[in-house]
Amino acid sequence: MPNTQELLALKCTHTETALTHGDINDYLTALSGWSEIDNHIVKNFKFKNYYETTAFFNAITYVFHAEDHHPEITLTYSNCIIKFDTHSVNGGKGGLSLNDFICAAKVDAIYQQSFS
C-alpha cells in the first residue's frame, strides 16, 4: 500500500492507464480528507479569509505547472475545492491515474506546511 512520502517523491508522467478501483482505494488511504466522487478525487480546503485562500491557490498552481497536471478548482472567500482526474485515460474518456494522487499529496503538503 502506498504512503504519502512515496507519492511526494514521484513526478507526473503522461499516461493513458487508469487505476483500478482497488488501486484508487489504496491511494486514498495514503491521503487525508480526499474523496472519490464521479471519477474524480475531491477535497475542500478551508481558510480564515480570502487572502489565505488566494495565497494557497497561488502556491498550488506552481505545482500544477511543474507537474503538467491541472485540476478543476473552485475558489471562494474561504474555500478552495480541488477536483483531480486524468483526461487521457480510458481511451480519452477520463478517470483516475497515479498523477492525480501525486498532485493531491503535493497539495496536501503545501497546505500542512503553510496553512494548518
pLDDT the model gives residue 93:
87
CATH number at residue 51: 3.30.1360.20
Kindly report whether the global pTM for this prediction surpasses the value 0.75. yes
**pLDDT < 50 positions in the chain:** none
Q: In terms of residue numbers, what domain contains 49?
A: 4-114
Number of domains composing the chain: 1
Distance CA 65, CA 60 (A): 9
Residues composing the chain: 116
